Amino acid sequence: MNHGTTPMTTSIISIQSQVVHGHVGNSAAVLPMQAHGLTVAAVPTTLLSNHPGFATTRGRVLDAELVGDLLRGVEERGLIESSRFIVSGYLGSRANGDVVAAFVKRARQLNPAITYICDPVMGDTHVGTFVADQVVDCICKELVPLADLLTPNQYEVGLIAGGPPSTWPELEAAVHQIQTARHANVVVTSCRLADTPHDSLENLVFEGTTSTRLPSPRLELAAAGTGDLYAGLLTAGLAHDLSLVDAARRAAAIVLDVLKRTMAAGEREMQLAGVIDALSPGCKQPPR
Average pLDDT, the chain: 91
What tens digit of pLDDT does each residue of 142-155 get?
A: 999 999 999 999 99
Beta bridge partners of 18: 47
pLDDT in tens, 153-178: 999 999 999 988 999 999 999 999 99
254 burial type by CB count under 10 A (0-12 exposed, 13-18 middle, 19+ buried)? buried
pLDDT 10s digits, 106-158: 999 999 999 999 999 999 988 899 999 999 999 999 999 999 999 999 999 99
Out of 1-5, 18-22, 62-66, pick the least confident. 1-5
**Is the domain covering 12-278 a CATH 3.30.1360.200 domain?**
no
Give Cα separations from 28 to 21, 169, 208, 255, 283 (angstroms): 11, 32, 29, 11, 19
Identify the burial level of 126 via C-beta atoms within 10 angstroms of its C-beta, where 0-12 means exposed, 13-18 middle and 19 or more buried. exposed
Q: Is the pLDDT of residue 184 over 80?
A: yes
CB atoms within 10 A of CB 109: 8
